[in-house]
Amino acid sequence: MKIITLALAALVGFSTLHAASPPDKSGADADAADVLSQSPRFLSDEQSLTQGSVTVGGQKIDYQAEAGLLVVHLTDPMDEDPPLPKSEREGPLPPQPPEAAMSYVAYFKGKAPDPRRPVTFIFNGGPGSSTVWLHMGAFGPKRVLTLTDSHTPAAPYRVVNNDYSLLDASDLVFIDAPGTGFGHLRGHEKEQAFFGVDPDANAFANFIVEFLSRHGRWNSPKYLFGESYGTTRSAVLVRVLQEKFSLDLNGVILLSQILSFDNSVDEPQLNPGVDQAYALALPTYAATAWYHKRLPDPPAELAPFLAEVEAFALGDYLTALAAGARLDPARRTEIAQRLHRYTGLPVDYLERANLRVNGGEFDKTLLGSDVTAGRLDSRFSGPTLDPLSQEAQYDPQAAAISSAYVSAYNDYVRGTLKFGAGKRFKASASLWKVWDFQHQPPGYPAKVQGATNVMPDLAVAMQRNPNLKVQMHGGYYDLATPFFAAEYELAQLPMQPSLQKNIEVHLYQSGHMVYARDEDLAALHANTADFIRRTSAGILAAP
């Protein structure tokens, strides 16, 4: 399975063992304490505090910024017995328990934090992505300007006031996943402890619980905002926070959602007999062909055209795919002709592909042999690396904007936030090499052998907290996490139909990073801010 990369563990994460004060070096524990306090093998908390302002909707907002590292553990370190002093033990010290220093930037409106304000925990996905993208593209007080559908020229990049920062509606905490950003891992079997669907969600839960405690925000309205794999994480995380910490959230906001990896169109050919990914991606293929003027009979308006494609996708098309080798040859040709009308791909190509074209094949084929369409945002295109390849070999959208985001953030965090001196920022890490995609669903005694599916987690969270609201955002031109697949997943959540009223959906004329288009960034801000304001009053709020 290809990793869904953004355009580009079990209990509370206390860090008192390595944080505010050095270990007690008196008495019999002096030997072990020296090891803990002096060895670079052990991580410690860090923070840098600065102040700034941003103008949103014509209103100036003063804020405090906190950039730093927060160390999380699998269990509360205070519950563990310290190592025996050298004089009382035989052999070396026991293996170091795993720990992760997770980097973050928090913004608090005003001269002093207000514990009554909502707080939103924001993260990108990967797995293996930092949160530089949402930070510098969507909701931070500063954003980097990039071109809408073509390659942004090299530095100097322009960083401007973010008119659409979410700081007007909520305090913000941008969290980098373990092993990314400025973070590091330490300890025995550290990769197994943090790199996987379930360990990752537990690490984020530990971070959030510790952050709430340190900043006195337990009684604030609380939200998750995840993008891409961050939506997968959110579904597990909201349930973990409920079950392990008795912590209900006000809302979960999902951008470019994927909850079931059986619906990924990256490599569905590796999962024969499960064809719905092809059908669920078809509206995105159609939107992309419409945008690039590749349709043989292009409609004037996109929305009604997509409604027609969606009906065909889950009707005649999915039925034809389910027939397999039993599909009548004449019917096969008829379906290929319909697909040609909706995708612009040649009929003979579609027939040779057995009516099944994955995302990489579509990107490589749509615009001819010399031009490749984007995956994260199919409005983008770039030169094909190998005209003889079967699939796209890179993503033109990621190539077009990544340098701008990473360069601008490195300059901003070091120069403005005064954090990161002597440290290397990892915008992403190749965690797919060690990532455990197996997941233990709620109520099941073991991990499931198969594609990751966290739909049960979100459903259980909504059942346990029937006031929980969910907002989903998607782009028409997103081939990494197609919008129609996201809508399908939400409609298939295994819960009472009455809870569907707690879900709202917003779609945009852009791709995976809907905020890469100015008009959609404005709409994303408006929809998200409105969602937070509507759901943060609480039962005891004054009328």
Per-residue pLDDT of 451-476, as tens digits, reads 999 999 999 999 999 999 999 999 99
Query: In this structure, which long-range contacts are made by residues 20-28, counting pairs with CB atoms below 8 Å and at least 24 apart in sequence?
Result: 20/45, 28/85, 28/87, 28/88
93-102, 242-251, 377-386, 436-445, range with the lowest pLDDT? 93-102
Question: Residue 45: is its pLDDT beyond 60?
Answer: yes
How does pLDDT run across 155-212, given as a tens digit for each residue? 899 999 999 999 999 999 999 999 999 999 998 889 898 999 999 999 999 999 999 9
Tell whether 368 and 510 lie within a shared domain: no
What pLDDT was estimated at residue 41? Answer: 64
Count Cβ atoms below 10 Å from residue 184 Cβ, excluding itself.
19
Structural domain contains residue 9: no
Q: Residue 231 is encoded by which pair of tokens?
A: 């939506």
What pLDDT was estimated at residue 177? Answer: 97
Tell whether 226 and 91 lie within a shared domain: yes
Tell whether 235 and 188 lie within a shared domain: yes
Question: Residue 430: is its pLDDT beyond 90?
Answer: no
Between these two residues, 8 and 236, which has the higher pLDDT value? 236
What pLDDT was estimated at residue 540? Answer: 54
Secondary structure (H, E, C), 232-295: HHHHHHHHHHHHHHCCCCCEEEEECCCCEHHHCCCCHHHCCCCCHHHHHHHHHHHHHHHHCCCC
How does pLDDT run across 349-369, given as a tens digit for each residue? 999 999 999 999 999 999 999
In 269-377, which ranges are continuous DSSP H helix? 276-291, 302-312, 318-323, 329-343, 347-352, 359-365
Percent of the chain with pLDDT over 90: 77
How does pLDDT run across 273-304, given as a tens digit for each residue? 999 999 999 999 999 999 999 999 999 999 99
Tell whether 140 and 235 lie within a shared domain: yes
- Domain harbouring 188, CATH code: 3.40.50.1820
- Asked if residues 272 and 324 have their Cβ atoms less than 8 Å apart, the reply is no
Mean pLDDT, the chain, rounded, equals 90
What does the pLDDT average to over 79-92? 74
Structural domain contains residue 4: no
User: Looking at 397, 421, 450, which one is the last position of a domain?
Assistant: 397
The dihedral built from the CA positions of residue 364, 338, 267 and 198, taken in this order, carries a sign that is positive
Q: What pTM value is reported for the model? A: 0.90
How does pLDDT run across 196-222, given as a tens digit for each residue? 999 999 999 999 999 999 999 999 999
Q: What φ, ψ does residue 316 adopt, rounded to 5°?
A: -60, -40
Question: Residue 30: is its pLDDT beyond 90?
Answer: no
Structural domain contains residue 402: no
Structural domain contains residue 153: yes
Residues ≥6 apart with Cβ < 8 Å to 326:
none
Q: How far apart are alpha carbons 523 and 511 in whole angstroms?
A: 14
Tell whether 313 and 389 lie within a shared domain: yes
What does the pLDDT average to over 223-229? 98
With b for 16 or more beta-carbon neighbours within 10 A and e for fewer, the 315-331 pattern comes to eebbebbeeeeebeeee
Structural domain contains residue 11: no
Q: How far apart are alpha carbons 43 and 538 in whole angstroms?
A: 38
- Asked if residues 458 and 150 have their Cβ atoms less than 8 Å apart, the reply is no
Tell whether 438 and 375 lie within a shared domain: no
Count Cβ atoms below 10 Å from residue 401 Cβ, excluding itself.
25
Tell whether 446 and 379 lie within a shared domain: no
Tell whether 68 and 195 lie within a shared domain: yes
Question: Residue 25: is its pLDDT beyond 80?
Answer: no
Query: In this structure, which long-range contacts are made by residues 387-394, counting pairs with CB atoms below 8 Å and at least 24 apart in sequence?
Result: 389/364, 390/360, 390/361, 390/364, 391/358, 391/360, 391/361, 391/363, 391/364, 392/360, 392/363, 392/364
Tell me the angle at which helices 302-312 and 276-291 cross, rounded to the nearest 10 degrees: 160
What does the pLDDT average to over 524-528? 98
Between these two residues, 333 and 74, which has the higher pLDDT value? 333
Tell whether 253 and 179 lie within a shared domain: yes
In 373-502, which ranges are continuous DSSP H helix? 396-415, 455-464, 483-491
What pLDDT was estimated at residue 88? Answer: 74
Count Cβ atoms below 10 Å from residue 281 Cβ, excluding itself.
27
Q: How far apart are alpha carbons 214 and 195 in whole angstroms?
A: 25
Tell whether 254 and 293 lie within a shared domain: no
User: Looking at 378, 397, 416, which one is the last position of a domain?
Assistant: 397
What pLDDT was estimated at residue 189? Answer: 87
Q: How far apart are alpha carbons 443 and 422 in whole angstroms?
A: 45
Tell me the angle at which helices 197-215 and 229-245 cross, rounded to the nearest 10 degrees: 60
Query: Which of 124, 28, 132, 37 lies closest to 84, judged by CA?
Result: 28
What pLDDT was estimated at residue 76? Answer: 76
Confidence label for 391 from pLDDT (cuts 50, 70 and 90): confident
Structural domain contains residue 70: yes
What does the pLDDT average to over 251-266? 97
Question: Residue 9: is its pLDDT beyond 60?
Answer: no
Tell whether 326 and 437 lie within a shared domain: no
Determine the structural domain holding residue 505 and report its residue range. 16-25+36-262+431-535
Structural domain contains residue 268: no
Tell whether 445 and 372 lie within a shared domain: no
Helix (H, G, I), strand (E, B) or coil at 62: strand
Structural domain contains residue 419: no
In the DSSP assignment, the letter for residue 27 is G
What does the pLDDT average to over 225-239? 98
* Count of domains observed in the chain: 2
What pLDDT was estimated at residue 539? Answer: 58
Count Cβ atoms below 10 Å from residue 441 Cβ, excluding itself.
18
Q: What φ, ψ does residue 129 adopt, rounded to 5°?
A: -110, 140
What does the pLDDT average to over 333-340? 98
Q: How far apart are alpha carbons 437 and 449 in whole angstroms?
A: 9
What pLDDT was estimated at residue 433? Answer: 78
User: Looking at 377, 397, 417, which one is the last position of a domain?
Assistant: 397
